[in-house]
Amino acid sequence: MIELQHLSKRYGGGSKQAPVQALDDLCLSVPEGSLYGLLGPNGAGKTTALRILCTLLAPDTGSVSVAGVDGLSDPRAIRRLLGYVAQEVAIDKILAGRELLALRGDLYHLGAADRHRRLVELIDLLGMDAWIDRRCGTYSGGMRRRLDLAAGLLHRPRLLVLDEPTVGLDIESRAAIWQVLQQLRDQGTTILLSSHYLEEVDALADRLAILEAGRVIAEGTPEALKDALGGDRVTLRVREFSDAAEAARVQDLLQGCEGVRQVVVNRSQGYSLNLVVQGGDVIERLRRQLTEAALPVFALAQSRPSLDDVYLQATGRTLMDAELSVAGLRDPKVERKQSMR
């Protein structure tokens, strides 16, 4: 359905700021009818990729194709095919939700009767009946998101593109949006959504791509990606706050243990130990070994590998660490300017 080939995009490079390579030879292929997740920390290039797909931004190099239509030579055909729910909620505060939807319907050239029918359907689908005739300025974040989603769906697009659709939302709105997305996918709409919530992508997406520094570093179904890592994750703390020497001792002790494939000392978590284990009774063996060495066990937790482990494996850091490392570096003012026409 979507083919993004070798997309590159560089921002800035003016006198004031250093250029930013937002996309670096990004390739992505989204199968028709799937719910596809783009996962990555802030600044990985998710929004840039989606803006290029939606014809809002021209790539420096590369090609965009949706359902066989070349996006660079026929952007209008692409716009007809897709609905876009952007990250920044841009609504007209003075219009009522219904008026805003009607306006969007006109911009998609819906006939009056069809427009009316779609409004009724979508207001019902997204549970907006109680407030749709109030002015948008009075809406909560969740209401705005739902209205935005409805606007993106008005023309029955074959492809729905959502940029961080649930960021900052209350649980109820989030659940409502998830449900609608799943329903749409089941009815055959292809959905591409970006997120930096691991659990959102894990729960929703049929397939996903992990983005890092403007390129795809892992791609596949969530299950396949996690299975490829192999083994379970175990977090072990012998005490609430251990020290380097003790951690090293435990590491040596467990490294030889049968079924333990890897032991890493996590300094930032009070010298806890992260283990990759395989096999049925590894946990029992670990406990026995620790008891024999007269070591206490403060906490021992076993889990299946998560998408965060996939990210960790590919980049050498957790998604959280990646978020924190860019947190202070991005300038919202500059980014707003970049998105401004």
List of residues contacting another protein (CB under 8 A) = 54-56, 67-69, 74, 76-77, 79-81, 84, 86, 88, 90-92, 94-95, 99, 102-104, 106-111, 114, 135, 151, 155-158, 187-189, 336-337, 339-341
Please state the closest distance from residue 3 (CB atom) to another protein, in A: 12
Please state the closest distance from residue 36 (CB atom) to another protein, in A: 18
Within 8 A by CB and 6+ apart from 208, the residues are 36, 37, 38, 39, 201, 219, 220, 221, 222, 225, 307
| Residue closer to another protein, measured from CB, 92 or 246 | 92
Rama region for 142: left / alpha / beta (φ>0; ψ in -120 to 50; rest): alpha
CA distance 116 to 324: 46
| Residue closer to another protein, measured from CB, 128 or 277 | 128
| Residue closer to another protein, measured from CB, 111 or 328 | 111
- Residue 204's nearest CA partner among 229, 174, 227, 226 is 174
What is the secondary structure of 107-127 as a DSSP string? HTT--HHHHHHHHHHHHHHTT
Please state the closest distance from residue 150 (CB atom) to another protein, in A: 13
Rama region for 163: left / alpha / beta (φ>0; ψ in -120 to 50; rest): beta
| Residue closer to another protein, measured from CB, 63 or 266 | 63
| Residue closer to another protein, measured from CB, 163 or 309 | 163
Please state the closest distance from residue 157 (CB atom) to another protein, in A: 7
Token pair 């403060």 is found at 298
Please state the closest distance from residue 340 (CB atom) to another protein, in A: 5
Please state the closest distance from residue 191 (CB atom) to another protein, in A: 13
Three-state DSSP class for residue 311? helix
Please state the closest distance from residue 112 (CB atom) to another protein, in A: 10
CA distance 30 to 273: 38
Q: What is the DSSP letter of 65?
A: E
| Residue closer to another protein, measured from CB, 165 or 222 | 165
Please state the closest distance from residue 212 (CB atom) to another protein, in A: 26
| Residue closer to another protein, measured from CB, 108 or 178 | 108
CA distance 336 to 233: 40
Tokens of 150: 């409805």
Within 8 A by CB and 6+ apart from 199, the residues are none
| Residue closer to another protein, measured from CB, 81 or 205 | 81
Structural Rg of the chain based on CA atoms: 24
Angle between helices 282-292 and 244-255 (to 10 degrees): 120
